[in-house]
Amino acid sequence: MDAKVEAKNEELIAAIKDSECYREYRRQLERVKQEPALKAQIDEFRRKNFELNMADETDLLRMTRFQEEYRDFRQNPLVDDFLAAELDFCRMIQRLEMHLVDALDFQ
């Protein structure tokens, strides 16, 4: 990689790590890691959610069942806080990626 681009990439990484969004995500992750069984359940939820979202077609019945299955689980404040922080962080990264692709007219 070009040295100038690499240097700017490192600056971007440092800025991301210094952002409140990333720091909150890391705080919530550390809280969840204190409870390995809960962390495993969260990981299972995330895996199933990813698979559901990657399905070729939208299956409303499957989505409804998934939401019902995890309704009580999502009401756990530790789970909800972690998933909200993770979602915020993912959206920040997605916005960065979209901005980069758009600015470079990458097709």
Residue 63, pLDDT score: 85
16 or 54, which is more confident?
16
Q: Give me the chain's average pLDDT, please.
A: 93
What region, left, alpha or beta, does residue 34 occupy, with left being phi > 0 and alpha being psi -120 to 50 degrees? alpha
Residue 56, pLDDT score: 63
56-78 confidence digits (pLDDT tens): 666 788 888 999 999 999 999 99
Residue 28, pLDDT score: 98
- 25: containing domain: 3-103
Q: What is the pTM of this model?
A: 0.86
Cα–Cα distance for residue pair 94/32, rounded to 1 Å = 24
Question: pLDDT at residue 4 above 80?
Answer: yes
**27 CB-near residues (< 8 Å, 6+ apart):** 85
The domain that contains 15 carries what CATH number?
1.20.1500
Residue 57, pLDDT score: 65
For 59, phi then psi, to 5°, come to -110, 95
Q: Which two structure tokens, joined as six digits, stand for 26?
A: 């890391």
Domain tally, the chain: 1
> Average pLDDT for residues 85-92, to the nearest whole number?
98
Q: Helices in 19-59 by DSSP H: which ranges? A: 20-33, 36-54
Cα–Cα distance for residue pair 76/63, rounded to 1 Å = 20
